[in-house]
Amino acid sequence: MDEFKALMLSRGEGGVRVSWERLREADLMDGDVTVCVTHSTINYKDGLALTGKLPGMRLPLIPGIDLAGTVVSSTNAEFTTGDDVILNGWGSGERHHGGYAEMARVKGDWLVKRPAAFTNAQTMAIGTAGYTAMLAVLALEAHEVMPDKGPVLVTGAAGGVGSVAVALLAKLEYRVIASTGRPQEADYLRALGASEIIDRAELGSPGRPLGKERWAGAIDVAGSHTLANALASTSYGGAVAAAGLAQGMDLPASVAPFILRGVTLIGIDSVMAPKARRVKAWERLAQDLDREKLASMTATHPLADVLALAPDILAGKVRGRIVLGVG
């Protein structure tokens, strides 16, 4: 296309200016693969970018850390015209033009070919949130936290990472304890496969260095006191995958869970994860994510709605996942 529509962030008086613009391919950044974008999504980090709160943004910038679409030109040997591809992270929507535009030019090393099991829209229903959840499940498996070892806690369970994590763990026959600050979402979480619902207030305040052993593992998106309490109540030899900081970047914990119970704290990085790990995660998502549950946690909006959605995702008001139709 000669011109395409894009959402552009730039510096304005008193902060970040947001505008819809018509651009040409020459306006895109360097890369060896050009993609016609069909779908994107909104994550917590996108909400920060759209409200001017994301540290380290390079402006002017097209936000959107995720995209799905079809290759229209490539000088990368791995991709040819017509390939359907996914991009999650790699600085897209932070330092490199991202997915909130009808066209994107990126490095082929950042892309993964779309699994045949999914449509482009379904890959964005998963997005970075769901791909992160799969990385966390793989990490728990690698540390031998298996269904027979005991239940797994998921914090922020009604959000994007949490919803996919609950559905994945349930499909893999784990007993899932879902922590949420939204009691009205209890039926939603049980439908995804949660066996028990607890209020996030149980974990969100300062706790004891070591608590009762309640779960074999956990997937945490909150950080701060929530992560500290998740560690304190993890069973002997268990593991906790830390994948977010919704409550805070601090970790007011003690070494007690590590040296008295042999608990492992695993950091989950989805942005710079090596390609082989990404491919494995998407292969497992194709195998282990229930399509009906994915549909039940997904709402679809046009890209034009993204500015109205940004404050809601930062306030924790968005349930599950959102697909944005772009092309």
**34-48 pLDDT tens trace:** 999 999 999 999 999
* Domain 4-114+297-325 bears CATH identifier 3.90.180.10: yes
Residue 279: the pLDDT is 97
Average pLDDT over residues 164-182: 98
Report residue 300's pLDDT band, with 50, 70 and 90 as the boundaries: very high
Topology adopted by domain 129-267: Rossmann fold (3.40.50)
Residue 1: is its pLDDT beyond 80? no
Residue 245: the pLDDT is 93
| Mean pLDDT of all residues belonging to the chain | 96
**133-146 pLDDT tens trace:** 999 999 999 999 99
Amino acid at residue number 316: G
Amino acid at residue number 235: S
**Cβ pair 91, 67 in contact under 8 A:** no
Residue 56: the pLDDT is 87
> What's the CA gap between 191 and 177, in Å, rounded?
13
Residue that the structure tokens 């082929």 belong to:
108
Residue 165: the pLDDT is 98
**Cβ pair 102, 37 in contact under 8 A:** yes
- 60 cis-preceded (ω within 30 degrees of 0): yes
**Cβ pair 187, 162 in contact under 8 A:** no
Report residue 155's pLDDT band, with 50, 70 and 90 as the boundaries: very high
Average pLDDT over residues 296-308: 97
Residue 14: the pLDDT is 79
> What's the CA gap between 275 and 324, in Å, rounded?
25
**Cβ pair 67, 99 in contact under 8 A:** yes
From-to residues of CATH 3.90.180.10 in the chain: 4-114+297-325
Residue 281: is its pLDDT beyond 90? yes
Residue 44: the pLDDT is 92
User: Partners of 4 in the beta sheet?
Assistant: 23
**76-129 pLDDT tens trace:** 999 999 999 999 999 999 999 999 999 999 999 999 999 999 999 999 999 999
Which helix (H) or strand (E) segment is 140 a member of? helix 120-142
Residue 312's nearest CA partner among 160, 140, 131, 155 is: 160
Residue 209: is its pLDDT beyond 70? yes
- Kindly report the pTM of this predicted structure: 0.95
Average pLDDT over residues 261-270: 98
**217-263 pLDDT tens trace:** 999 999 999 999 999 999 999 999 999 999 999 999 999 999 999 99
Percent over 70 (pLDDT), the chain: 100
From-to residues of CATH 3.40.50.720 in the chain: 129-267
